[in-house]
Chain A
């Protein structure tokens, strides 16, 4: 079974750093991009960026460029999303998803279960 399992919920203070993870299994991890999606409380989905696990090439949405870093450790089939200095506005659910395609830009399937990040003083 193809699945993505994310790390658990986090509670942090403003200014702290954080790295959350997304571990893939049941498929060739380096054959599919991993993407990260933010969902703020009561709001919709926002594409943050993606990484190609085969070469670690990343592409960020302009809205998130410079605010987060996406990385990968292909030896353990795990992608990461990290912040160097959290803000209260980073409070959200974060999902990773595997990009699948038939030769074009593709779609996201499956999704991880989500990691809730709460930033509060």
Chain B
């Protein structure tokens, strides 16, 4: 079981807004920043957000990241078929002295 908890699946229709949650604890999300990764089918993960809400160049502003307490969220507005992928959150864990990932959320665009 992953240290960070994500819903296994999410879905939406084109144009909709979808939110993916990532729940942790004081030793990880509560104390450190969060990063998000997008993994398209058959490819390596790609950085989507760093420092909780910073988008690397090339990531559309349809994507946004936030954090409150021990939980983080990834929001995708104006959903497109190309957004269909697995999404993972990650954070440093002070107790484990290492990084932890969420279990991943499979986003389906209906």
CB distance from A112 to the nearest CB of B (A): 7
**Is A61 a contact partner of B47 (Cβ separation < 8 A)?**
no
User: CB within 8 Å of A: which of B57-110?
Assistant: 86, 88, 90, 92, 96-104
User: CB within 8 Å of B: which of A21-64?
Assistant: 35, 37, 44-47, 49-50, 59-62
Most buried by B among A45, A100, A107: A107
Knowing A107-B47, A107-B90, A109-B50 touch, does A59 contact B33 (C-beta < 8 A)?
no
Main secondary structure, interface of A, reads strand
Q: Mark A83-105, 1 if CB is under 8 A from B, else 0.
A: 00000000000010100101011
Main secondary structure, interface of B, reads strand
Distance A49 CA – B102 CA, assembled complex (angstroms) = 16
**Is A105 a contact partner of B32 (Cβ separation < 8 A)?**
yes
Distance A49 CA – B88 CA, assembled complex (angstroms) = 18
**Is B44 a contact partner of A113 (Cβ separation < 8 A)?**
yes
B23 at interface, CB cutoff 8 A: no
Count class of interface residues, chain B: 20 to 34
CB distance from A107 to the nearest CB of B (A): 4
**Is B35 a contact partner of A46 (Cβ separation < 8 A)?**
no
Q: Which residue of B lies closest to A100 (CB)?
A: B50
| A-B CB contact pairs (8 Å), 10 listed | A45-B90, A45-B101, A61-B96, A106-B92, A107-B35, A107-B51, A108-B35, A111-B46, A111-B47, A112-B44
Give A contacts to B, CB under 8 Å. 35, 37, 44-47, 49-50, 59-62, 95, 97, 100, 102, 104-114
Give B contacts to A, CB under 8 Å. 2, 32-33, 35, 37, 44-47, 50-51, 56, 86, 88, 90, 92, 96-104
Please provide the 3 A-B residue pairs with the shortest distance between their CB atoms, ordered closest to farther: A105-B92, A107-B35, A109-B47
